[in-house]
Structure 1
Amino acid sequence: MDPESLRNLLKAVSTGQVDPEAAAAELAAGPLGADGSGFRDLGYARVDTHRGIRTGDPEVVFGAGKTAAETVGIVEALRRASGVTRPTLVTRADHVTVAALRERWPDAQVSSGAEPLTTNQLAGSPLTGDRRPATVVVGPLPEPRGLVVVVAAGTSDAPVAEETAMTAAAAGAGVEMVRDVGVAGLHRVLAARPALERADCLVVVAGMEGALPSVIGGLVGTPLVAVPTSVGYGASFGGLSALLGMLTSCAPGIVVCNIDNGFGAGLFAARVARLARSESTHR
């Protein structure tokens, strides 16, 4: 349940369309739980079922470090709390977890081109080569509000860009991807300018020296989130060079996420896009 669903339920109670006891039962069965705590204690995890009401976004399961059974159990609890009307997102899932999620929910969406890590590869591994964790969405995507355009500098940055895109879509924004437009060929960036200008929020994902957000930040006035990736040669220091380059960008209006943090960027961008579209609708 999100804030809009809660408001609709309360309005229905106020107009007599829904009995107060029925509304209380719906809340108890979903976000508040039978004991009213707002979380469900599974023993190995306390699943936050109340987050959707507080923030408008469901709790997301960070798959790294969890067993497949633990992840499936947490997703089960979240699906029950949401009434299966909202998606549940799993990030950094290894191949065993992806298989378990697909077995339980055959219609689950998995990031394209992902080559999930094995369990013992997950800890501290860069997102390079075939070391690619997967992002999984269980359940239907919400009706999109606003547009997030995710820009990937190179094909090697795709896993982080796809995590960003799937997160933004699960959080309720429309998503468009622009791939492989790094600064080594600036004409490719200029060719993508119409897509950049359509966006309510941009996410620019880049490794190496991390210059692409500065270039795009000088072309358009759209809010821009920069995401450094761990892609690059030795002196890139696992994404530190890109991170520092983005933090010291001369183009104004850029905020920077942590290295490989597509999830954080996607959620922030979706919130910006949803709010921008809501404000334009109410003007």
Structure 2
Amino acid sequence: MPPNEGIRRGGEYTDRAGFYNPPHFTFQKSLVSTLSFPLGNAYITLPSGSVEKEAFDIVLNKNAAVTPLAVEPGEIARANSRIALNEGPWALPLTGSITETYIFDEQGSWNAPFSKPGILSLAYRDDNGDGVLDGSNPPVKVDTAHVWALDRNRDMWAKLPSSSEDKPARLISVPFMVPGVFAILGTLDESVKNAYAFPVPFRPNGQNAGIGAGMSGTTAAGITFANLPQRGRVEIYTLDGLLVRKLTIPENSLTAQMQWDIKNSAGEKVRSDVYIWRVISGENVKTGKLMIIW
């Protein structure tokens, strides 16, 4: 087997070097079929009997964005254009993640659903562990990444359900029922569940005034809203429901936090009191309280 080609189990590798590119791997119906790449960037596993052919070849094409085997490059390009138009550029397939699975024998390709679901795993890179997919621009958080499939009937990407993530291995796996073209896509992070405000209470003239753990803040630093989504807004209200200030979260920000200068929308310093804050992103909302003591 060529050292730079896939690793397989459950079948016999047929050496066709110089004739097929990417190489083909021959498997038997009665055996589990497993194919992976030595760099660990793509894996496919099919249960025994999942393909209704006695013997068949599997191709795992990692250059599908440029030279797909079973689709036209224009189909992928149109799907990319549509999702960028509808969701924004952060939803484009991650560079190098577009992978094609192709199954065939001497009689032709196999495009019918499997009798049993297989498992497809695609790798992503986050070498510095910052929770952002390497190479994504605008930045895409790992937690928003999923495996999507090319819907050839509509020339669009369709999100596959039931994906699971192995963060130590940096793999996203998903059951799949038909061969095709797959990719890792992300979205803007709209999660608000971990958002919070600090310091609370805010008391910049108290005995513990300052910045840091256990400190009650400073006028210059104001109140920080942390663990924010990548888009949305922060709203501050009085207890009787009057809007004090609305802060727009900058899209594509990686800091996931922003400061409130303790001023209302007119630029006036707010009075000592208890206030309600809301973080809103899409349909997600989180509410909390904060106290200001001058």
TM range (shorter): under 0.3
Q: Which has the higher strand share?
A: 2
- TM-score for the superposition, normalised by structure 2: 0.24
Larger Rg: 2
Q: Which has the higher helix share?
A: 1
- TM-score for the superposition, normalised by structure 1: 0.24
